[in-house]
Amino acid sequence: MRVLTNYPQIGLVSSLSTGGPTSFLTSTPLDFDRRQYLTEINAVVNDSCRTSREIASQDFQVLVDIVNFVSKWSDDELKQNFLSPIVEAVKNRIVSFAKETEKLVPKYLIDLLKIVNPGIGYDANDYADGKSGVEALPFRYDVEAYTIQQLIGSIGGVAGKRIVDLGCGDGIYARKLVEQGAEQVLGIDLDPDFITKGVEANTGYETKVSYQLEDIQNPAAHGKNDADIVLGSYVMSYPKNYAELVAYAKTVASHLKPGAKFVGFGNNAFEVCKKAKYHKYGCVKRQDSDVDGSIITGEVKGLKEPIITHYFKPETYQKAFAEVGLDLEWRPVQVDPNTMQSPGYWNELIGADLPGDGIKGQFAAMLATKI
């Protein structure tokens, strides 16, 4: 049993491998050394994740109590210093547990990670449901997947190539890329539920597809400049501000070889959607303003929670990409000619009925080259 002996007044005695109390006292003196306290707490967490095959379930509540307590502190730096090591330790345990047991990741580990690192906000199972989730929407294959396929085809296809799938979700594109001839695909996502689903679906792809649980804007998600293609389906729609946008673009650039390509699909940067639109496509889209970082809400059929993304002007994307050595071009999205939908069904979405000068006014995807 490991005891936080320096601070008995706090009431925490915990060993994350042999058990501990299930409550955390919040009546603490204002003058205790919080930095040293955090150091001891994080040592307990990291020791457990290194030495025990499984964090005891009763310790989940200990950590939840600690996190809830620290979240009330007004010192953001201290909170971040506390949460970051726990996020890393628990993420590492989830990934290693998934590799060791193939499918069985304890639910309390995933729940804990969601408390300290909320992720994307909507449910992975709802999203990936092939009958009623986002994956079942015709848009996903008639427009999104077809456009991605055409863009990748325009740069030579995937045969024999190393590919990174940023924001990989449950690995649906990673598996398809291997089926089309990719040599290796690394999927990176910050949501543990999605990574778990990817691992569960990886039978037969183990030597070709691997996963990394990481927030794309973090340096830990950076690569080694050895990928031929980086794919990002909606990943560039999640940054909340310019600094995050640059951080996402930096991760893209870090994976690519010089001259290699980023293929991106996401929100239409050439459209400001100030009223609810696209009901007939299964996703009601709303946008609060045309300012960079503005919230875009997507209420999607099959999802209990809305998808929250953010708007950036085309020129803002260009600037952020250029800052990290990426030359960004915009390419019109395309509709699969074999769609089962009626002629003209997708025109409103892709902007085919709008007057435009080249790409302007139309739905566009990204194709960027590492300089």
Q: 339-356 pLDDT, tens per residue?
A: 999 989 999 888 755 444
Domain boundary among 116, 149, 177: 116
Do 308 and 345 have their domain in common? Answer: yes
d(CA 112, CA 199): 19
The total of other beta-carbon atoms located within 10 Å of residue 299's CB is 16
- Strand, helix or coil for residue 39: helix
- Return the pLDDT at 300: 82
C-alpha closest to that of 217 among 180, 186, 188: 188
Whole-number percent of the chain with pLDDT over 70 = 61
Q: Identify the top-confidence range among 30-44, 203-217, 322-336.
A: 322-336
Q: Are residues 231 and 211 in the same domain?
A: yes
- For residue 309, being part of any structural domain is answered with yes
> Is 50 exceeded by the pLDDT of residue 297?
yes
Which of these ranges, 33-37, 122-126, 189-193, 338-342, has the smallest mean pLDDT? 33-37
Q: Specify whether the CB–CB gap between 307 and 233 falls below 8 A.
A: no
- Domain identity same for 156 and 111: no
Tell me: do 109 and 217 sit in the same domain.
no
Rounded Cα–Cα distance for residues 15 and 34 (Å): 20
Read off the pLDDT of residues 234-254 as tens digits, 9 standing for 90 and up. Answer: 999 999 899 999 999 999 999
Tokens of 76: 């953001």
| pLDDT, greater one: 83 or 114 | 83
Co-location of 78 and 38 in the same domain: yes
More confident of the two residues 310 and 111:
310
* 282-293: pLDDT as tens digits: 888 888 788 999
Q: pLDDT over 90 for what percent of the chain?
A: 42
- Per-residue confidence band for 158, with pLDDT thresholds at 50, 70 and 90: very high
pLDDT at 13: 32
Smallest Cα–Cα separation from 16: which of 96, 110, 89? 89
- Regarding whether 106 and 63 lie in a shared domain, the answer is yes
- Residue 267 confidence (pLDDT) above 80: yes
For residue 367, give the amino acid letter: L
Residue with tokens 């996963």: 211
Res. 369: pLDDT tops 70? yes
Residue 103's Cβ-side half-sphere holds a number of Cα atoms within 13 Å equal to 4
pLDDT, mean of residues 213-217: 88
Say if 200 falls within a structural domain.
yes
What is the model's pLDDT at position 284? 86
Q: Are residues 361 and 212 in the same domain?
A: yes
The DSSP letter of residue 297 is: E
Q: Which of 60-64, 227-231, 232-236, 242-246 has the lowest mean pLDDT?
A: 60-64
Domain that holds residue 35: 8-116
Average pLDDT of the chain, as a whole number: 76
- H helix or E strand, kind and range, residue 327: strand 326-332
Q: What's the rounded mean pLDDT across residues 298-323?
A: 89
Coil, strand or helix: which one is 307? strand
Residue 1 lies in a domain: no
Verify that 338 and 362 share a domain, yes or no. Answer: yes
User: pLDDT-based confidence at 66, cuts 50/70/90?
Assistant: low
61 with 157, same domain: the answer is no
- Please give the full DSSP string across 329-369, using - where no structure is assigned: EEEE----TT-SSPTTTTHHHHTTTS--STTTTS-EEEEEE
User: What is the structure's pLDDT at 215?
Assistant: 86
* Domain total of the chain: 2
- pLDDT, position 91: 58
pLDDT band at 307; cut points 50, 70, 90: confident
Cβ count near 364 (within 10 Å)? 25
Taking 70 as the threshold, does the pLDDT of residue 67 lie above it? no
Tell me if 364 is assigned to some domain: yes
| Residue 210, strand partner residues | 186
- Per the domain annotation, does 128 fall within a domain? yes
Domain at 166, CATH number: 3.40.50.150
Residues 260, 239 share a domain: yes
- Mean of pLDDT values over 121-125: 62
- Cβ–Cβ < 8 Å for 14, 21: yes
Q: Residue 44: what pLDDT?
A: 52
Same domain, 320 and 279: yes
Q: Does residue 309 register a pLDDT over 80?
A: yes
- Which of 116, 136, 170 is where one domain is finished? 116
Confidence class for position 137, pLDDT limits 50, 70, 90? confident
Alpha helical stretches, state H, 17-106: 34-51, 57-70, 76-101
In this structure, are 79 and 156 located in the same domain? no
Q: What are 330-339's pLDDT values in tens digits?
A: 999 999 999 9
Q: Is the pLDDT of residue 14 over 60?
A: no
Looking at 70, 91, 116, the residue that finishes a domain is 116
- Find the helix or strand (DSSP H, E) in which 249 lies: helix 242-255
**171 domain-assigned:** yes
